[in-house]
Amino acid sequence: MNKNASDSSTRRPPLAPAALTALDAWWRAANYLAVGQIYLRDNPLLKEPLRREHIKARLLGHWGTSPGLSFIYAHLNRVIRARDLDVLYVTGPGHGGPALVACTWLEGSYSELYPNVPRNEAGMRRLFRQFSYPGGIPSHTAPETPGSIHEGGELGYALSHAYGAAFDNPGLIVACVIGDGEAETGPLAAAWHSNKFLNPALDGAVLPILHLNGYKIANPTVLARIPRTELERLLTGYGHSVHWVEGDDPLAMHEAMAATLDEVFDEVDAIQRAARSPGAAIERPRWPMIVLATPKGWTGPKEVDGRKAEGSFRSHQVPFGELSNPEHLALLEQWMRSYRPEELFDEQGRLRPELVELAPSGERRMGMNRHANGGLLLRDLELTSILARAVDVPAPGAVDVEAARVLGDWLADVMRANLEARNFLVVAPDEAASNRLGALFDVTDRRWVAERRAEDDHLAPDGRVLEILSEHTCQGWLEGYLLTGRHGLFTSYEAFVHIVDSMFNQHAKWLKVSREVPWRRPIASLNYFLTSHVWRQDHNGFSHQDPGFIDHVVNKKADIIRVYLPPDANTLLCVAERCLRSRHLVNVIVAGKNAQPQWLDIEAAVRHCEAGVGIFEWASSDEGVMPDVVMACCGDVPTIETLAAVQLLRELLPALRVRVVNVVDLMALQPSEEHPHGLSNRDFDTLFTTDRPIVFAWHGYPSLIHQLTYRRTNHANLHVRGFKEEGTTTTPFDMLVRNDLDRFRLVMDVVDRVAGVGVAAAHVKQRMAAKRTAHRRYIVEHGEDMPEIRDWKW
């Protein structure tokens, strides 16, 4: 491909020469402001010759990607105005914060949201000073950045976010810039397939723009160093029609970009018109995309200290520092003056009126797009009553039920109630049915816009369950959907949700910071339903056995995260309803999908979940007296084991007074000063006593319970059993025995810990040890658990 050529360049330029120079001026203004933010603390309009004291003490920020991001912004402004488009701008290289701040300041949205940064000289000075500065704003696009749903600090999520925003937003176009380095990440690579899930009639459009500036921080990018034909085939293979805009001469590039955008939006328009005409069959269109190939650090210094800067990795961040070096100072001044600021801003630092006009107005400005502040658009989800799906539990342990299936029935009700509103999605890595949420398919289908065959099961282009075997893509879609003001749920195997640990981090950070941004409105919570959990992956083996996501989640800010481990189906319904109603949180629900005994009727479940933690009175024998031991449990399987141990204790040590405490809201264990759901010390002490042994059967890694309770009065008497990283393909009960969480071991723990019991109960302990031995022999012989385990009833 030639320099400064594009496949559009042969056609008549859509821009009159005057419009072209004006657009170029707007772009120069954005570039000027980007450089100013990185370098200057004073003299913003360069009214005086640049001096050392005008320069910031610490130079931080990313120049390299910025001119490309502003270039696209300026051109999108033109098409938004020409076609009255609703465009959301997602920038993968979020480190290009200076560009986004500059563009939103130029269009006025920045000053509207931050009146202390007006569009004049004083405002420009503040704009420069605050950037990447203590007490100021971050160097990346962030929750503080107008128009952004995307931090971009951690690369890889732009495209899945963009698709998430576009789902069920038929009037929206999401322009998504993908860094060529970012494109090397796994999450981004998987997200190209999102176009097989985008319904051209019912969803909006995504316009991917691959920003092929050739470099990352210190290396070339893979996509820039393969033949253009190979790249074109790759992108064609992803299902796109590829439009190239390549070069470095600004005016030729403006022409090419403008022509290409017109062509691309014509294509989008034609696709949507065809799909939306009456009776049209929904087939996967070949959506357009753009490859924008420009030098990294475009318009920046060509060389610094004799080394190439523009068009190399050396322009990634601050192209040069050491401004005490007069040559560098001169270079900076020359660079900034190359944008001819006096042509762009008046004496008062205001953008010239003919340039002001180039940006759209009101909510058409990308900085003011309401979809970027999804809470503004959020409508409550219609939640049907959980009573309709409540399990009849005549007595504790009387019935066996698959809790996840009950949840699935209720989720199907919720799905049905919100079908018309089109504001609820379930995402899963191919596991919705496996996780027993199959009732959803009585109401809706799996979204699929690629080829369908007769033998497929519930695939349809308008399905509301989105399944792709990429946890990253599931997570990114859901984040994009939530951030633009809708609702959803992600179901995954417990072990594999770790794949999105880092994406969860970023979303939790976004939620934390956005709470503190006054103009951001709360969005719906990110809900995880984790099942097929550690204790019931006996058939799949060690790779599938990992409860560590919970540990990961509780590190995040307390006012953002909630973790629930309902012990049965009715409690699961209660917590699920609470999660879907909540705002601006990450909710993690862990519960099993296998048939298990049910403990609480729905009224008791509601009370239990409201309290978060409580005594199972029907299982306790300490009413009116001090217990000898507290048997605590959290998680469905540990609850069963605790109750089985309690039953053994009743037989074997009938005089022992036992209190059973069940925890459904994990964060209740933390002190109330640490977490909004935390129990007060007084309440904790009342439940767990100040001096009795506590044998705590826990779903996950034991250290977490210690971490949450280390400041509680009775912590020294707390003995936690949980997952000790012992796993394999074995029987369900053997998983418990291997990790010392089985009922026999819990009884032995009681014997060991309750004062005065030990010696007298030596025979009990010995019998329990014998049971464990018998268990091991039995499973090897028979390949399944002993009948007394399989047929155990409370």
Footprint of ligand TPP (CB under 6 A): 64-65, 93, 95, 153-156, 179-182, 185, 211, 213, 215-217, 221, 296, 316
Q: Which two tokens stand for residue 693?
A: 């042994």
- Minimum CB separation of residue 333 from ligand TPP in Å reads 25
Report which of 330, 269, 77, 93 is spatially closest to residue 188, judged by C-alpha positions.
93
- Minimum CB separation of residue 158 from ligand TPP in Å reads 9
Task: Using the minimum distance from each CB to ligand TPP, give the nearer residue, 153 or 170.
Answer: 153
Task: Using the minimum distance from each CB to ligand TPP, give the nearer residue, 221 or 689.
Answer: 221
- The DSSP string of 590-637 is E---SEEE----HHHHHHHHHHSEEE-GGG---TTS--SEEEEEESHH
The item of ligand TPP, Mg ion, none sharing an interface with residue 154, based on CB under 5 to 8 Å by kind, is ligand TPP
The item of ligand TPP, Mg ion, none sharing an interface with residue 22, based on CB under 5 to 8 Å by kind, is none
300-333: burial string, b at 16+ Cβ within 10 Å, e else = bbeebeeeebbbbbbbbbbbbeebeeeebbebbb
Binding residue count for Mg ion, defined by CB under 5 A: 4
Report which of 72, 140, 143, 61 is spatially closest to residue 103, judged by C-alpha positions.
72
CA torsion, ordered 312, 317, 320, 321, to nearest 10 deg: -160
- The DSSP string of 33-48 is HHHHHHHBSS-TT--S
Our separate counts of H helices and E strands in the chain read 25, 23
Binders in 122-181 for Mg ion, by CB under 5 A: 179-181
Task: Using the minimum distance from each CB to ligand TPP, give the nearer residue, 219 or 361.
Answer: 219
**Alpha-carbon gap, residue 317 to 339, rounded angstroms:** 19
Task: Using the minimum distance from each CB to Mg ion, give the nearer residue, 183 or 205.
Answer: 183
C-alpha 791: how far from its chain's center? 42
Rounded to whole angstroms, what are the CA distances from 309 to 159, 210, 222, 316, 418? Answer: 29, 21, 20, 9, 54
CB count within 10 Å of CB 516 equals 9
Task: Using the minimum distance from each CB to Mg ion, give the nearer residue, 164 or 179.
Answer: 179
- Minimum CB separation of residue 187 from Mg ion in Å reads 17
Q: Is 678 in the site for Mg ion (CB under 5 A)?
A: no
Residues facing residue 289 across a β-bridge = 242
The item of ligand TPP, Mg ion, none sharing an interface with residue 435, based on CB under 5 to 8 Å by kind, is none
Binders in 174-203 for Mg ion, by CB under 5 A: 179-181
**Alpha-carbon gap, residue 272 to 586, rounded angstroms:** 35
Task: Using the minimum distance from each CB to Mg ion, give the nearer residue, 204 or 297.
Answer: 297
Task: Using the minimum distance from each CB to Mg ion, give the nearer residue, 223 or 359.
Answer: 223
- Minimum CB separation of residue 213 from ligand TPP in Å reads 5
- Burial group, residue 172, by CB count within 10 angstroms (0-12, 13-18, 19+): buried
Task: Using the minimum distance from each CB to ligand TPP, give the nearer residue, 92 or 488.
Answer: 92
- Minimum CB separation of residue 549 from ligand TPP in Å reads 19
- Bridge-based pairing of strands 613-615 and 658-663 is antiparallel
Q: Which amino acid, residue 624?
A: G
Q: Which two tokens stand for residue 513?
A: 């910071």
- Minimum CB separation of residue 218 from Mg ion in Å reads 11
Which one-letter DSSP state was computed for residue 515?
Answer: H
The item of Mg ion, ligand TPP, none sharing an interface with residue 64, based on CB under 5 to 8 Å by kind, is ligand TPP
Helix/strand/coil for 645? helix
The item of ligand TPP, Mg ion, none sharing an interface with residue 469, based on CB under 5 to 8 Å by kind, is none
The item of ligand TPP, Mg ion, none sharing an interface with residue 601, based on CB under 5 to 8 Å by kind, is none
Task: Using the minimum distance from each CB to ligand TPP, give the nearer residue, 61 or 349.
Answer: 61
The item of ligand TPP, Mg ion, none sharing an interface with residue 95, based on CB under 5 to 8 Å by kind, is ligand TPP
- Would you give the binding string for Mg ion spanning residues 202-241, x where CB under 5 A is met? -----------x----------------------------
Task: Using the minimum distance from each CB to Mg ion, give the nearer residue, 139 or 213.
Answer: 213
- The DSSP string of 693-717 is -EEEEESS-HHHHHHHHTTSGGGGG
**Alpha-carbon gap, residue 620 to 78, rounded angstroms:** 71
**Alpha-carbon gap, residue 136 to 127, rounded angstroms:** 9
Residues facing residue 174 across a β-bridge = 88, 206
Q: Which amino acid, residue 789?
A: I
Task: Using the minimum distance from each CB to Mg ion, give the nearer residue, 298 or 535.
Answer: 298
Rounded to whole angstroms, what are the CA distances from 684 to 13, 664, 670, 720? Answer: 73, 14, 9, 16
- Minimum CB separation of residue 214 from ligand TPP in Å reads 8
Task: Using the minimum distance from each CB to ligand TPP, give the nearer residue, 296 or 771.
Answer: 296
**Alpha-carbon gap, residue 348 to 341, rounded angstroms:** 12
Task: Using the minimum distance from each CB to Mg ion, give the nearer residue, 313 or 504.
Answer: 313
- Minimum CB separation of residue 292 from ligand TPP in Å reads 10
- Would you give the binding string for Mg ion spanning residues 513-532, x where CB under 5 A is met? --------------------
- Minimum CB separation of residue 179 from Mg ion in Å reads 5
- Minimum CB separation of residue 352 from Mg ion in Å reads 32
The item of Mg ion, ligand TPP, none sharing an interface with residue 6, based on CB under 5 to 8 Å by kind, is none
The item of ligand TPP, Mg ion, none sharing an interface with residue 104, based on CB under 5 to 8 Å by kind, is none
Which one-letter DSSP state was computed for residue 374?
Answer: G
- Minimum CB separation of residue 93 from ligand TPP in Å reads 4
Q: Which two tokens stand for residue 223?
A: 């996509």
Binders in 375-434 for Mg ion, by CB under 5 A: none
| In the complex, residue closest to ligand TPP by CB | 179
- Minimum CB separation of residue 175 from Mg ion in Å reads 17
- Minimum CB separation of residue 603 from Mg ion in Å reads 59
- Minimum CB separation of residue 298 from ligand TPP in Å reads 11
Report which of 519, 495, 522 is spatially closest to residue 586, judged by C-alpha positions.
522
Residue whose pair of structure tokens reads 């779903």 in the numeric block: 699
Task: Using the minimum distance from each CB to ligand TPP, give the nearer residue, 221 or 596.
Answer: 221
The item of Mg ion, ligand TPP, none sharing an interface with residue 504, based on CB under 5 to 8 Å by kind, is none
Residues facing residue 291 across a β-bridge = 210, 244
Residues at the contact surface with Mg ion, assessed by CB under 5 A:
179-181, 213
